Amino acid sequence: MSNIIMHVDVNSAFLSWTAAYEQQMGLERDIREVASVIGGNEENRHGIVLAKSMKAKKYGIKTGNSLMEARLMCPNLLVVPPNYQVYVRASKSLYELLNTFSPDIEVFSIDECFIRFMDLNKEKAIELAYSIKEQIKQVFGYTVNIGISTNKLLAKMAGDFEKPDKCHTCFPEEIKEKMWILPVENLFMVGRRTQPKLNKLGIYTIGDLANADFNLISTLLKSHGRLIYAYANGHDASTFKPPTPIKSVGNSSTLKFNVEDIETAHVIILSLVEMTAWRLREAKMMCSVVSISIKDSSFGYISRQKKLQYFTDCTQDIYKNICSLFDKVWDKNPIRQLGVSVSDLDEAKFQQLSIFKDRNSLNNEKLDKVIDKIREKYGDAAIIRGVFANSDLEPLLGGYPDDEYPGMSSIL
């Protein structure tokens, strides 16, 4: 008997959730049955593939391809615009269901989490994983992968084995047979930039890395090298972090193009604030601190916050305050990344104000306008990166190239 960790990952989350939502809404089509992708506006060149159906995958379409590339690979491709409100709701419902199996859930991203079970034997754990997978399918109408092991790293690796709709184990005694044979780039935290460095050393599989000279890896890749070396050997020293009360809500975006004028920056801030404020209201919270962060094209970084004299959850209000912060601190260098966040949250303030019924309808009205404006101008892909960063998802720490892990953090 030991502690078991499971990693639950929604297969093609954005696509599955959209499909399940459309079925609920009574639409005839099932976008999973055709070559389809979730992606931003096709007319502008910034739209990228955020998720793909199995049929689209057969055409060679990958997440992160531009919509133009995807269209070339499959002329009949169905492009469905993203709907973040559906995703946030779907994610919340999923985690609520998973909570009925264990109170120990660590949310990793909008569609991935870890569940911890105390004193469960391996056979029972596998049985349970299958029943969780089936229940999700029955209740919500989409599939997940579940990885089962004794730590988060191994559970995540197992979850990424063959997809979709599968349960896999990767217990310590199975590392050699199941993990070491995989290409080194399949190891969690080995990204596009690390892979060629490892290949140059003759390291092509996870097993090669696990058996490489530790000192060499450590000297060459520093702390990141030591981390992936440990991961290759199945070691993960991180502790399990059960959910903590939300302390902040934020949203950031690495832009596909440099932003050089204030009007464009404001539009992007608006889109970021829109999702942030919406999430704040979903969490039934109000905030009294707003912040902006700006990364420019020469890696300069500015971050400022402002304490408000009152609590708010209003998009327009937060937007105005963040814009005034931005206008004060921006040094006119071309912008590569913008981030907004709100903190100093209070649940009670939300309850007090909820007697004003028109508050939400006002916000919703603005929401539609804003989202339309963004879609028209940039496509949703312009605002996809790093969404839903909150206190559960710590910001990426130094050493991990952040464009390799959009919206993820180095919490393992």
Question: Among 9, 236, 313, 380, which residue interacts with Mg ion (rule: CB under 5 A)?
Answer: 9
Q: Are the C-beta atoms of 277 and 313 separated by less than 8 Å?
A: yes
136 or 210, CB closer to Mg ion? 136
- 380 binds Mg ion per the rule CB under 5 A: no
Distance CA 284, CA 288 (A): 14
**Secondary structure (3-state) at 335:** strand
Tokens of 32: 């999973």
User: Least separation, in Å, of the C-beta of 61 and Mg ion?
Assistant: 16
14 or 231, CB closer to Mg ion? 14
User: Least separation, in Å, of the C-beta of 51 and Mg ion?
Assistant: 8
User: Least separation, in Å, of the C-beta of 10 and Mg ion?
Assistant: 5
User: Least separation, in Å, of the C-beta of 179 and Mg ion?
Assistant: 19
User: Least separation, in Å, of the C-beta of 75 and Mg ion?
Assistant: 27
User: Least separation, in Å, of the C-beta of 167 and Mg ion?
Assistant: 15
Stretch that binds Mg ion, among 6-14, 22-30, 287-295, 403-411 (CB under 5 A): 6-14
DSSP string, 93-113: HHHHHHHTT-S-EEEEETTEE
Known catalytic residue: 112? yes
- 13 binds Mg ion per the rule CB under 5 A: yes
7 or 336, CB closer to Mg ion? 7
Distance CA 238, CA 229 (A): 15
Q: Are the C-beta atoms of 331 and 380 separated by less than 8 Å?
A: no
190 or 408, CB closer to Mg ion? 408
Distance CA 2, CA 149 (A): 10
Question: Among 77, 94, 107, 111, which residue interacts with Mg ion (rule: CB under 5 A)?
Answer: 111
What proportions of the chain, in percent to the nearest 5, are helix, strand and coil?
45, 25, 35
Residues in the chain: 412
Q: Which residue has the tokens 């133009």?
A: 68
Phi, psi angle pair for 112, to nearest 5°: -135, 140
9 or 313, CB closer to Mg ion? 9
Count of residues in contact with Mg ion, rule CB under 5 A:
4
Distance CA 285, CA 247 (A): 10
Q: What torsion, rounded to 10 degrees, do the Cα atoms 90, 93, 99, 100 define?
A: -130
Distance CA 363, CA 304 (A): 25
111 or 380, CB closer to Mg ion? 111
- 160 binds Mg ion per the rule CB under 5 A: no
Phi, psi angle pair for 54, to nearest 5°: -60, -40
Please pick, among 112, 123, 177, 185, the residue that the annotation labels catalytic: 112
- The DSSP call for residue 32 is G
Query: Would you say 111 is a known binding-site residue?
Result: yes
**Secondary structure (3-state) at 39:** strand
DSSP string, 131-161: HHHHHHHHHHS--EEEEEESSHHHHHHHHTS
Q: Which residue positions form the known binding site for Mg(2+)?
A: 9, 111
Q: Which residue positions form the known binding site?
A: 9, 111
Residues taking part in catalysis: 112
Residues in the site for Mg ion, rule: CB under 5 A?
A: 9-10, 13, 111
